[in-house]
Structure 1
């Protein structure tokens, strides 16, 4: 009698491992999917930040004019962000402005005096990320990522 009860209880347990596997697999796959998607997002964000920093450093090289420094910064940042896919083509903007101390950027003439010091600000933005990343809920993927860098210019 004891052997028939054991056989009956084993028979009623058939398929339980398949159900357990399905539940565990869904949880594991969801975590793996999120890690891959956010890893791609962070790689794009760091790439944009690197392009902005390279552009800001390029403005420190000697140019004959302030406008030349701004154009050099924008061209280097554009070249450094060329690895991004065409669907997410980054937009680069560079500007040179006076340092006011409270993150205001006012475009005025720059000079070698401390009160006339200027900085270059490089901003690299990428839009349309939802077309590039695998589909996730809309709250999980930002619509825009950006990298921003600034450098104090020496105008001597």
Structure 2
């Protein structure tokens, strides 16, 4: 005779109901962790590129913008940013910046430097996350772009 209060199969049903929730929470933690980590690495690279360029700037730049060749300063800042990205990235070579979390930096990242009034150099790094995500979003709200900005007042 079969017991009507038998719990046979209950654990399997509970697992099927609870597992998707736990998996989605774990997936969200990993996905957002990768996004925050990449954004922090981009911020560090932008700031480090500006720090490296300070030694390049002529002394007259500190007091007036007339003695600065802004194109050469921008080129120096951009090369400093690229050098710090190469230090952080994997698979970097002389022709490639490498990759973050399996995505190529050369294709996904846009480095732009601008000059503003008062001798300020501004670096903006923009990662096209919509095209080059680290993990598929799976119903999670993720940004289309990861953007970080650093500036240096001369």
Asked if TM exceeds 0.5, the reply is yes
Which residue number corresponds to residue 83 of structure 2? 79
How far the C-alpha of 1:131 sits from its partner, in A, is: 3.7
Q: Distance in 2 between matches of 1:136 and 1:62?
A: 42
Specify every segment of 5 or more residues in structure 1 that has no aligned partner in the other structure, as ranges: 99-116
Contact 1:130 1:141 in 2 (8 A): no
- Specify whether residues 49 and 21 from structure 1 end up closer, same or farther in structure 2 by C-alpha distance, changes over 3 A only: same
TM-score of the superposed pair, with normalisation by structure 2: 0.71
SS at match of 1:70: helix
- Specify whether residues 128 and 15 from structure 1 end up closer, same or farther in structure 2 by C-alpha distance, changes over 3 A only: same
Which residue number corresponds to residue 90 of structure 1? 109
How far the C-alpha of 1:9 sits from its partner, in A, is: 3.1
Which residue number corresponds to residue 3 of structure 2? 8
TM-score of the superposed pair, with normalisation by structure 1: 0.71
Alpha carbon RMSD of aligned pairs, Å? 2.3
2:71 aligned with 1:52: no
Which one has a bigger Cα radius of gyration?
1
Aligned length: 129
Q: Distance in 2 between matches of 1:26 and 1:49?
A: 34
Contact 1:61 1:69 in 2 (8 A): no
Q: Distance in 2 between matches of 1:136 and 1:33?
A: 9
SS at match of 1:94: strand
How far the C-alpha of 1:118 sits from its partner, in A, is: 1.6
Which residue number corresponds to residue 135 of structure 1? 136
Q: Distance in 2 between matches of 1:81 and 1:137?
A: 29
Q: Distance in 2 between matches of 1:9 and 1:130?
A: 55
Which residue number corresponds to residue 104 of structure 1? none
Deviations 1:105-149 (A, max 9, x none): xxxxxxxxxxxx321101111114454322224661212111100
Contact 2:124 2:147 in 1 (8 A): yes
Q: Distance in 2 between matches of 1:53 and 1:91?
A: 15
